[in-house]
Structures are given as C-alpha cells and as structure tokens.
Amino acid sequence: MSCSSSSARARLSALLLGVSALALNLAANQANAQTYCAPSSCASSNANGTGVGNSAGQTVTGIANTGVGDQASLSVTGNGNTGIGGSSSNHVTGSFNSGSGDLSSSSVTGNWNTGSGFASSYIITGTGNTGAGFESSGQVTGINNTGVGFDSSQTVFGNSNVGIGDSASQNVTGAANIGVGQNSSQFIFGFFNAGFGVASSLNVTGSDNTGAGDAASQSVTGQSNSGFGARSSRSVIGMVNTGLAGC
C-alpha cells in the first residue's frame, strides 16, 4: 500500500469524525439551531423563532414568535405571534397575535388579535379583535370587535362591535353594534344598534335602534327606534318610533 493511499484514508477518517461531531452538536441544540436571527441575535427562549432587523426578537419567551423590522417582536410572551414592520409586535402577552405595519400589534394581551396597517391593533385586551386600516383597532377591550378603515374601531369596550368606514365604531360600550359608513356608530352605549350611512348611529343609548341613511339615527335614547333616509330618526327619546325622510 502506498504512502499516498494511507494519507488519503487518514484525512477521510478525520473528516468523517468532524462531521459526526458537528451532527451530534446540532442535535443537542436543536431549538437554537432552528432559531434564525439577523443581524442581531434572538432571545434563546424564543424557540423556533425569527428576528430580522436591528434589535428584533428580543426579550421573547415562547415558541415560533416572529419579528421582521427594526425593533420588531420585543417583550413577547406566548406562541406564534408575528410582527412585520418597525416596532411591530411589541409588549405582547398571548398567542397568535399578528401585526402588519409599523407599530402594529403592540401592547396586546390576548389571543388571535390582528392588525393590518400603521399602528393597527394597539392597546388591545381580549381575543379575536381585528383592525384593517391606518390606526384601526385601538384601545379595545373585548372579543371579536372589528374595524375596517382609517381610525376605525377605537375606544371600544364590549364584544362583536363592527365599524366599516373611516372613523367608524368609536367610543362604543356594548355588544353587536354596527356602523357602516364614514363616522358611523360613534358614542354608543347599548346593544344591537346599527347605522348605515355617513355619520349614522351617533350618540345612541339603548338597544335595537337603526338608522339607514346619511346622518340617520342621531341623539337617540330608547329601544327599537328606526330611521330610513338622510337625517331621519334624530333627537328621539322613547321606543318603537319610526322616521322616514321627507315625511
């Protein structure tokens, strides 16, 4: 056997030994091996997590939390939380909360809350609350409240309140109140009140009051009052009153 053959076999044995040692080391540190961070390192307690951006993925406890953007995913406790955008997914306690946009999904306690847009889903306590739009879903306490539009679903306390339109569903206390239209469903205290039209369902206290038309159902106290048409059912106190535009 030649000296060159012996030397080659020795080098091959050394290489295989090195590969085996590397494989054993990766297996012993599987959680850390699956955690990806760039350019800064994630918290070791964020198993299978991702942080991309300056100071992203810091002070994180849980599994599969993700932050993409400078200072994204900071001070997070839970699993499956995601922030895409600068300073998104900050100060989150819970699981499967997500934010897309700078400052989105911040100061959140609960699960399955979602924000899409700058500063959306901000200061949330509850579950299943959704904001789609610039600064939508802010200062919300409850379950399954929805805001679609600029500054929609703001200062809401209750469940299943919906605002569709810029500044819809603001200052609402109660459940199942609906506003469709810019500035609709504002300053509501009660249940099942609905406004369909610009500035409809404003300053309402009670239940089952409905306004269909721009500026319909405003300054209403009572139950089951209805207005159909622009500026109908306004300044109403009582029950089961109906207003028709032009009458």
Which pLDDT score, from 0 to 100, does residue 80 have? 96
Per-residue pLDDT reduced to its tens digit, 178-218: 999 999 999 999 999 999 999 999 999 999 999 999 999 99
Domain carrying residue 196: 129-247
Which pLDDT score, from 0 to 100, does residue 43 have? 54
How many domains are contained in the chain? 2
Whether residue 176 sits in one domain with residue 91 = no
Q: Are 213 and 229 in contact (CB under 8 A)?
A: yes
Q: What's the one-letter identity of residue 164?
A: I
Per-residue pLDDT reduced to its tens digit, 80-108: 999 999 999 999 999 999 999 999 999 99
CB atoms within 10 A of CB 182: 18
Whether residue 149 sits in one domain with residue 43 = no
Kindly state the helix (H) or strand (E) to which residue 23 belongs, with its residue range.
helix 3-28
For residue 229, tell me if it sits in a domain.
yes
pTM above 0.85, yes or no: no
The distance of Cα 142 from the centroid of its chain, to the nearest Å, equals 13
Whether residue 135 sits in one domain with residue 100 = no
For residue 176, tell me if it sits in a domain.
yes
Whether residue 183 sits in one domain with residue 222 = yes
Per-residue pLDDT reduced to its tens digit, 120-144: 999 999 999 999 999 999 999 999 9
For residue 154, tell me if it sits in a domain.
yes
Whether residue 171 sits in one domain with residue 75 = no
Structure tokens at 20: 């085996």
